Structure 1
Amino acid sequence: MARRNGRKKNQLPDLYYEGYMEKRSFKDKTSRKLWTCLCGKTLFFFNDKRDEDYVEKLDLCGLVSVTDDSSPDPNLDAARFNVQMTKENIKFTAPNAESRELWKGFIHCVAKLEVPLTLNLLPGQIHILRETVQKEQERLTNPEPKPSPPAAVKTEMPACYYEVPYLEAELLLEREASKGNLLLRPGKQKGSFAITTRQDVERPIFRHYRILPKPEGGFYIAVDKPVHFDSLHDVVAYMVEKTDGSFTPLNIEAHYDKNISFIAADKENGERTQQPLRPLEDPIPVTVKARNDEPEPVKNPPAADKRVEKASVTDGCSSGETRPVPEPRKLPPCPAPRTSAPTPPAAKPACPTNAPEKPRILSNPEMEKQILPAALSELKQRLGQKTKLLA
């Protein structure tokens, strides 16, 4: 199996050896095949080789021994060995015998800082184990500073995180008591945090809890029995869930106005008042229609109007006799239409010349309905008079 020295994974210590192994502890009913990485003095277990977050880990500081497992197994190729710790015994199964010997050698080297002499290994493999012991001694003597997390990780804070010191945290929880009673704030030490809570019994009671970072990543609450977490979000969720909702994370929502306003002074008395800003209205397109004040001419005037005009012309002028032309009947004035100009008053009919007078053009249908019956009535009267004269 190829060995990759110095590879970093999730900010873990230096990698010495890795590969798939089956792991089974006393509390496990069945074995699980996990991708195992030996980083420093800790075994980290992943579900898959490509995973970045480990599911379990085993600290080898309490190692007692690493021995072969001589219990009978139907699988003849099974390369099993036991890792005896101070509190438990864990059974591992390597892919083959060579891999088992390497795992035993690396685990013994980092835990005891010495190369075991009872392993069946090649000289080159023993030389690699000696280098591993030397690197682990240097790592323990001169621990490397933990690299600061990237800027993207720093900004991923819980919603109840506020950049306030010790006393201002208490004042903030007291002023915003209706919006929560728990907040997260920076700690005194670099990279540490603190949780401040407020509860009312007979008087407000404030408590502060220190949150410290772990060397391998994550955080823990520094109390008598420390509680470990992977992130600050898990710390806040733990405080809320384990107290049955007694703690509520402080969440101060910002207030935004829905209308724009400004302070303006009155020009007359100088009084300053708040005035709303009128929003710009979208212009409404106006369709301008061409105005035509002149009435539309009637193309086909009624035939009755022509008969009325002819009768008035022949009467009194056909035989050369001069007869007084009766004045036309005065009709009630018709209301002028709204869109048309006022109609000029009708002139008195005069004796026609050789050219016949053009018929009058009526423009309003409502006027025609009123004038036509009166004209017919006058025509009947004149015809009756003429019939009497001829008789």
Structure 2
Amino acid sequence: MNRRQGRPFSMMPHCYYEGYLEKRSFKDKKSRRLWTCLCGNRLYFFNDKRDTDYIEKMDLTGPITITDDNTVDCNLDAAKLNLQTKDSDIKFSAPNAEARELWKGFIQSVSELSVPSMLNLLPGQMLMLEEVVKKEKERLRNVQQSSLSIDVELAKEMPDCFHPVSRTEAELLLERQFTRGNLLLRPNRNGTGFAVSTREEMNGPIFKHYLVSRKQDNSFTIEVDTPVACASLHDVVVYFSEATEGALMPLAREETYEQNISYIGLDNENGEKMVRGASMHLTLPTQQPKPALPSEDREENVYMNNSQPESKTAEKSQKTPTPAPRKFPPPPSPAAANRSTHTTEPRCKTHLDNHGQTISELRLRFEKKAKCAD
């Protein structure tokens, strides 16, 4: 590939492939031989390979269709192809069939971000396409990151007429708010820079859009026939206003807030809609008391509050959803009392029976009755 000196590569993505192509659209009467460069996902056309300024460009984003054109040409070696995008339908003529296959491969690779399989190319040429796909994916990733994270310093210095809207939304906004201004600054479609949208009246509304690119030193350039360099976005807005003698005025953002709460309601007398003020004397609901526990849960809580065992582990192990009244075993027989050599004191000595006596007192009474029986 021939490299040229003086081409402003900083204004265009990396060049993947280039060469002469004969270009003809449906509105052209004859084809033109142009030096064509595939930079990023766009085709740039130059009158000559030594030129530094392109005359046309074609966007390859979105679905495209590229097919061979087998019609006979006066140049028997030429190989034709048809390229159809969402915006245009162009006929190209490559110098030969090999060049046509390479153009098809490069165009489809950057558009679809994958190497096409149905191509008649050598293994080395297929490796070239794989490398181009990697570079284009990396470029798009960097573009997306830069568009999503605008520098904090740059965001603070945004003019008041900056609106984060698309081209169509900008036209609608200028149409609705034409009394407040007719110029706004917005992000461009690719997210790599900005654009200025304007609206003027001449037998109807006229909308225009200007590209504003950002340079590596954070300066800006208005991309017109004679590019205009500006130090900041504020200078871009000022230049448009001063260069047009005040005909273009920035549309500032409005961030007003209502001071009173109102709503649209019906009039009680005639039933017509009217603006009504919200009642400002309402009392906010206080915290509601906790609902009362069911009877079973209350009995359980009373029982648990009255009983204070020494060991919490025993209390957890013996806890039941609905405790039954305590029942004491019948007095042991004399034989069982004689065989019993070990008496176990109850863990809880604070529980009272129905007569208000402790368990230990009852046990002593049972032992005395057993001795009397003997």
TM-score (norm 1): 0.42
TM-score (norm 2): 0.44
**Structure showing greater Rg:** 1
